[in-house]
Amino acid sequence: MKTTFGSTRLVTIMGLAVLLALLPLQRALAFTIDGGSDYAVLFEGAGGNTMHVTNVTVNGNLGVGNNGLLDLSGPATVGRIDFSAADTGQFSNTNAANVFTGPFYNVAAVTTALNYLNSLNASLGAESGTDVSINGSTTINASAGTFHGSDSVFNVTAFNTTNSDVLTINGDGIHDVVLNFIGLSANFNNQVVLNGLTSDKVLYNFVGGSGLTGGPTLQVNDNGHNNPSNMVFGDFLNPNGAISVVNTNLFGRVFGGDTHDIQIVSGDHISTAVPDPGSTVLLLSLSLGLLAGAKRKLAS
């Protein structure tokens, strides 16, 4: 009996050890933005096009790939500014009140992050997903997606929203959420509420085109500058299509922009540091920040 009990206990312990070892592996199968986590905005910069940054607050870093340009007019407050290429007149600062660090050139991390994200865009876009139509206020449950490892994948078949509409995404405690917009352009004008998920665990993945051209167009405008309670949560990835983020409170990141100019303008507030989406502290701090910005305008 001793031998039997000992053997049983050993098998049980070994089984638990295997299970515990597999749990991190299963979690590792979720998508990750890898080097993109160091940036709030990453611009492809192909074709020598320009990232326009005007009258915004970006609580995170900006990265410009290839031979892209950055025009910082303002007033604007941003983090560190990195270019993947050498300084060939790529940076323009036209407002003495702008706040930033850098610019820095020959930053290999920009190219590394963009290459990884471009590959991620294609690989996630090739995964099967549960069809979902987003028309007006819509709720998506992670438990209803098509599972690939620890990702819950949806294919957005239609998208039509206004500033008063709310996209609610409910987590299941296991899966991250990928929303593939396959060949589908979007005016992302709605608010977003996340339950049980953080912004870096929700990816709006715009798929189409190739070689940094020909993809869908993305516009994000939740009227957040005029209404601080309007918020968007999640990360946007659109390597092959044009991007504009206007008048938006975004708690997340923006990656892509193909061979077009990219617009980060008109009162945007972009932050990669995301407290609880329902936090009254977040609402208060955001409102105070926007109020301070309005006071600076009146004083100037």
pLDDT at residue 74, rounded to an integer: 79
What average pLDDT is seen over the chain?
87
pLDDT at residue 9, rounded to an integer: 52
CB-based contacts of 247: which residues, under 8 Å, 6+ apart? 221, 222, 223, 224, 225, 226, 266, 267, 268
Q: What is the mean pLDDT of residues 197-214?
A: 97
**Tens of pLDDT along 219-270?**
999 999 889 999 999 999 999 999 999 999 999 999 999 999 999 999 999 9
pLDDT at residue 225, rounded to an integer: 86
CB 58 within 8 A of CB 270: yes
CB-based contacts of 237: which residues, under 8 Å, 6+ apart? 117, 120, 121, 203, 204, 205, 206, 255, 256
pTM of the model: 0.84
CB-based contacts of 52: which residues, under 8 Å, 6+ apart? 71, 73, 261, 262, 263, 264, 265
pLDDT band at 25 (very low <50, low <70, confident <90, very high): very low
pLDDT at 300 over 80: no
- Cα radius of gyration (the chain): 21
DSSP for 43-103, written as a single string? E--GGG-EEEEES-EEES-EEE-TT-EEEEESS-EEEEEEESS--SS-EEE--TT-EEEEE
pLDDT at 192 over 50: yes
Q: Say which residue, 5 or 130, is predicted with more confidence.
A: 130
pLDDT at residue 273, rounded to an integer: 79
Q: What is the mean pLDDT of residues 277-282?
A: 42
pLDDT at 290 over 90: no
Q: What is the mean pLDDT of residues 11-23?
A: 42
Q: What is the mean pLDDT of residues 178-201?
A: 98
- Between CA 8 and CA 6 the distance in angstroms is 5
